[in-house]
Structure 1
Amino acid sequence: MTLAELLRLARQRLEASGIEDAALDARLLVEHFTGTSRSDAIAWPDMVTESQAVAAVEAALERRSAGEPVHRILGFREFYGLELSLSAQTLEPRPDTEILIDAILPFMRDVAAREGACRVLDLGTGTGAIALALLANVPDATAIGVDVSADALATAARNAAGLGLADRFTALRSDWFSQVNGRFHVIASNPPYIRSDDIAGLQAEVRLFDPVRALDGGEDGLQPYRVIAAQAAAHLEQDGAVVVEIGNTQRLEVISIFENECFRLLEARRDLGGNDRVLLFAVA
């Protein structure tokens, strides 16, 4: 089978299964399992693909047709220009979370320039996406990535090593702040913020393949923010900052939670869809 034929077969198979981005997903799967690129498909459409690669693509198409997200099948996803491995106990890092990186980087660069270092605590690190993106962009920064999942921590550590950031990243198993010592210039988190009763109504690709523990924010979706707001000040350096991702209807409630714990809002940012997405706080 030629590369062009395999691409066409993959697209048609996914279209028939009702996959929304069939052409894109087909291309990603074919390129990954054949070791080719988009340029190859243009320059050498008649390239013959090996039977093992064809079989791997067909198996991947079966998984995608059954609803498994394409990046779960690939085993990695790009975030802020970094390729991050995924595992069963990690969320897929998503483009909306890149807004958090944009919001806190100027603050971190100022701290690093002034003090020669910037210490980051990433709560609920998962793949390590937030911590590693920050480290990759602030050479004087170090980070501790906290998670309750040993699987997630192993994935984050593996990602740090693969990106050459292992010497500045520490994975720590902790239930929020329970095992955390010391103070940090930045505390960052993309915590679970879905209401427990809303989990069942999420898209199947999220509900069935993302770890529920990383989605479920309790009865009102706000419990993790209460924990962070109540304990963050004890772990912040003077003039430190807390930055959190939020659900698109939670802006006023999360601001109120932090203000009740003597924080003040420094900045609020929206995502590319115009939805409230990131809040940045300092101690009042």
Structure 2
Amino acid sequence: MNEKFKSGFVAIVGRPNVGKSTLLNRIIGQKIAIMSDKAQTTRNKVQGVYTTEQAQVVFIDTPGIHKPKHKLGDFMVKVALNTFREVDLIYFVIDASSGFGRGDEFIIEKLKNVNTPVFLLINKIDLVSPEKLLELIVQYKEHLDFAEIMPISALEGNNVEQLLGETTAKLEEGPMYYPKDQITDHPERFIISELIREQVLELTREEVPHSVAVTIDGIEKNSKTEKLTIMATIIVERSTQKGIIIGKQGQMLKQIGMRARKEIELLLGSKVFLEVWVKVQKNWRDKEHYLQDYGFNKDEY
């Protein structure tokens, strides 16, 4: 007789830029969360669904926890902290190469107030010596009684299978929440907008900070060719940023569109024609109605 089916929800939390989205994409086996070496890349809770014959685990990749500087920052931190009480298990991801920091201390203090089991995942182990790794384990154990401590490399995949085994073992018997072939609960429009935003972050580097949002204005399908036309707008806060994104003779915008289109075609398995515009909306990150317009709805949290 088959074992009982298990299911549950797991939050992935940690400071910005420790590899949370990389881990989620590694587990799911497909890109559903954007990755960048800039802090605060993830803004909403991204749910990834991992299903086997024995279990289904719904992962929530939260925004990096940081000291907020504007309303968007407030929203992001609240999303992350509210997740703690919604799940069956928490992955607390740290960057082995950064060491223990004040940001980790802040998160640990929050974790002390929840009854949810916490796995400490020491990521980027390929960047540190075994001695340094041992020191980190001892240091973190002094601050919290973790259910498990696992060194991993989200990028290389080291110990990720073992992590999934330990995770499944901790979950209770439960239903299958999503169809077994579904890998995320986010609508395609959300992921498409994130893939475009990722290319803006990658290609403009430090010139355009996180004052960028992307809206999908329309998706049309050609019934004869099956080709999709996607219309999107990149929102920035200043006209100088608009100039940077468009670039000399439109070259930067062309590059953003070309790279994003390739990622979108991989996601959708379909040929895509992508039209991208750039629009200035001054100080949108500090205005409630713009935050809601661009998908940051506080009422959901």
Report the TM-score, using the length of structure 2 for normalisation. 0.29
TM-score by length of 1: 0.30
More helix by share: 1
